[in-house]
Amino acid sequence: MKRREGTVPVNISVPVSLRKKMEKHPEINWSATACRAFERQLKAQEVLDELSETGVSEEEALERSLKVQHGQKIVKRV
C-alpha cells in the first residue's frame, strides 16, 4: 500500500475477535476509519479542554464533548 505524503505508519493492537470481523470486510479502508475515530476523539478532548478553562461544569463539558464525538451540532444555552 502506498502512503500519502504527510502520513506516518502507526501500529495499534486490536482483539483477535475484532480483527477476524475486520478481515471479513477488506473493502473498508481501516486506516481511514481509525483516522476519523482519532479525529473525533481529539475534537471531543479539545472541547473538554476549552470548557475546563472557562469554568463550565464538568457535566456540561462532558455533554458537549459527547455531542462532538457523535457529530451532533452543539447549541449554546442562553
Q: Give the Å distances, CA to CA, from 40 to 18, 68, 70.
A: 21, 7, 8
pLDDT at 62: 76
Is pLDDT above 50 for 38? Answer: yes
Determine the average pLDDT of the residues in 56-76: 70
Give the pLDDT of residue 73. 57
- Tell me the average pLDDT of the chain: 82
Give domain limits for the chain: 16-69
> Is pLDDT of 11 > 80?
yes
One-character DSSP codes across 31-73? HHHHHHHHHHHHHHHHHHHHHHHHT--HHHHHHHHHHHHTTPP
Residue (of 68, 71, 76, 63) closest to 46 by Cα position: 68
Each residue's pLDDT tens digit, 39-52: 988 988 888 788 77
Q: Is the pLDDT of residue 72 over 80?
A: no
